[in-house]
Structure 1
């Protein structure tokens, strides 16, 4: 019988980044845990939309396994779950409420919730929408790890009864994101799945500047955009960009755009992985504005934009030396604070684990 796993994740997806931001988050974090010497099992619901779009079917940094129902999850993996050092359930897990109830009955040694969508989750719960987490379940967990920090943590404890709410932001795998020296193809680009609340910001901060700057080139990469969007002629569309191509994509932009979902803007302290990926690549950032961003990125490493004119002015007036200085500042900060290895160390500390000797990079 094999030794117990240090950590078991039950999450939305590790195998496929199609239409979700969870996979890249889990990959960076679990690679970091592997670097810290942790044995990790990731359990993923086997659903066709991910099965048909798997870009990491065989990870070399953890064990990945699938289940088809809540009953199968418990029957097939019950021993691994009960013997694990810690079990972490993610947001948006299919049949999440039933999964959590089933896990609660196992009387796990240490179990936690990792909310990669905290402001969305809380907004849903306030509407009575318990798609993947019930309000009554929040006090069950030993810890509630949140993608959002700041006042949201106080809300989780004071209003929703979390025993312990702690920030666990996204991160970037520094071995897979960095400068490539490729020549820029686009003046401004954006990478992200379509969402209704982000689209007006994308319209204001990229599509309108594209119309105002027909001599420049723009790109939008991401799935699920509706067919009735009127794309300017100088905006290239990429339907889906697997993580293996993200590094090259960022490196071929003069600037990259970060756009944040409305619930996360309202909550603040909710950085997107795009910020850290682009920063690690040394690509200058333009972002919408929300509380906490100025404490996550130094002022000299990012352009904050409210209007189309802000973006136009940045694209037209920023010199190459200014862009290079911004990029260097962002990269230094990301590599110091926001790598998967750093984030994994934070998680292990919060779990109370002794940190093992970090494995050298391959």
Structure 2
């Protein structure tokens, strides 16, 4: 009887200690997630990380799960705590490999957390790569998907080298379906085109190539950036407006550049001290939370369906693909995108670019195409 009571007490004490430990982990994670910019919460977060780093392996999954909703600073702190706990678990051969693999395969989890779990898992189980990576070709995690794409590229190269061109072509095409990083896309497209395939990169990336454009309006002394010209108030494609150099009308323009670059200076005129407005439609089958990804060396503002989404009053930073990513929720049906581009009056050779590229993508980087209803495809705007 006494022995049974003693065992019961031990069991109760063990359960109590475990519960307290779990509560401590939860509290420490909560403290870390409260860290903010300019040092707010740093001291408390630092202390919480020190305590959390001493936790046993049972804290690993709660730490990873907590990446959801954490700001970038908090994620950095959480990464440090996770790595400390994981290193100790590996040293003691107590890493919960099965739970980590399940977490990696859970696409609802934070992509950075999933990558961290993967890099930890393969330290003790290198063969996990062969189980996990092939299934990541269209994954939401950019880095896991990149590994999957590269695996296919390497396979295709080996097949091509062995003279198996048809098989190589199929594998390259499979790799392209998941590729979003420009360097990988180029590494895939070059051999595919050499093998006789026609590749539409505008379609692959989701670039908008057909635009209506009007201008120039006055941007002398950069005053045009804040000036509200007629296109910002109403899009009337039949109207003419007073511009910087006389009356201006809307013009239909397009680009056949692989990366959707429209060069205003080359295709229209190298306007200086000027504002141009560009608009395009994006048709969505239903409500979608996507991103507008813009590249331009010019100052800009962007609206969707009349709502200002973002603006940047900065000139000549250079231009790269996906330079800016703006989250947007598209409504079902037609969505009107309006882009305001401003060129200043600098005359240096490096300040002459007046161009842009714009695409629609998922947060993962995969392109999304406009899906115009068939009934309206023949109708003009």
Structure having the larger proportion of residues in helix: 2
TM-score, length of structure 1 as denominator length:
0.26
Higher relative contact order (CA 8 A, sep 6+): 1
Q: Which has the larger radius of gyration?
A: 2
TM-score, length of structure 2 as denominator length:
0.25
